[in-house]
Amino acid sequence: MADLTKAVGEPYGPYVHRGATSQDILDTATMLVAARTLDLLLPDLARTERALARLAAEHRDTPMPGRTLTQHAVPTVFGLKAAGWRALVLDARDRITAVRDALPAQLGGAAGTLAAFEAYGATDPTALPAAYAGELGLRAPVLPWHTLRTPIADLAGTLAFTAGALGKIAVDVLTLSRTETGEVAEGGGGGSSAMPHKANPVRSTLIAAAARRAPQLAATLYGSLAAEDERPAGAWHAEWEPLRDLLRLTGGAARDAAELAEGLRVRPDAMRAHLGLTHGLIVSERLSAELAPVLGRARARELLTELAARAYAEDRNLGELLAEVPELRGLDLAGPTDPARYTGAAATLTDRALERR
């Protein structure tokens, strides 16, 4: 403080830190750092959104297995998956924009009453926070928030949400890029120091790591809402390190996500090939509906259960086995057994999602 006062010089030196408390300065500095970080985050999210929109549009009709509880369920299209990722990015963007616009300055004095400013002769001490905030490009606070930590909690929740939203993209890419799956791949994957053949999904790994750390960091910041009196002992101090880490991790995840989305390689042939891994059983839901009017609901389910077991045991396609069932002779089952023709409204849902700006 002495050095700053000296640097300012006369006649302004005596006004340095007059009436303010250290928390006023540090909280305001925190908001300025947060603003700069969020201003860097938003362009990276915009890059990610644009890349995912392109992928969704290009692959609105690219069929692939839909997976639930790690297993093949029914067919979907990759465009819908990419559109879902994009929706999360837009959700994060909207939250960040709202929080960024609401970041407040802090100025309350020793116990949040502005008393010292009045003692130093301010005719309207309540006007000072607004002028102070305006000079810094921050929102003017309604009240001093030394122990009213809504701005920190909102920032923490938004950052944790953003990291988690990007983490969803990352873990999907990690799963789909496994050697035995190979439906997508990172552009320019990292090599292995020991295994020359590997191209590791480095960006997805870093994003996933950030997404797993972010909730615990946010939890510490939420814990600091329980701040006693007019200025706390410990609650405020506990915020410093986790908030710094949360800003850093989320900012890094956003940059990695932009590069991941822009370079992601999609392999439609692998997706189509995997639709046949379950011997045609990926369309069993549709066949249950198609055969129920012909055989009755109970008989249709019984038959499909029996043929499912045979398909695996005999390594045969469900369509072949259905063609051998006397009760079904004469029925055209080519359409109902084609996974690419059982994607429901996936393409339409993709288009609808892409309408959001």
Name the catalytic one among 22, 192, 265, 356: 192
For residue 8, report the phi and psi dihedrals to the nearest 5 degrees.
-70, -40
By CB neighbour count within 10 A (0-12 exposed, 13-18 middle, 19+ buried), where does 295 fall?
middle
* Residue tagged 């946010």 (tokens): 218
357 assigned to active site: no
- Spatial distance between the Cα atoms of 21 and 334, rounded to a whole number of angstroms: 77
231 assigned to active site: yes
Name the catalytic one among 231, 255, 267, 286: 231
**Alpha helical stretches, state H, the chain:** 2-8, 22-58, 78-102, 115-119, 128-136, 150-176, 202-223, 240-263, 268-274, 284-295, 297-314, 318-323, 346-354
- Spatial distance between the Cα atoms of 337 and 327, rounded to a whole number of angstroms: 17
Cis upstream peptide for 141 (omega within 30°): no
Sign of CA pseudo-dihedral 34, 143, 223, 20: positive
Q: Cite the active site residues.
A: 192, 231
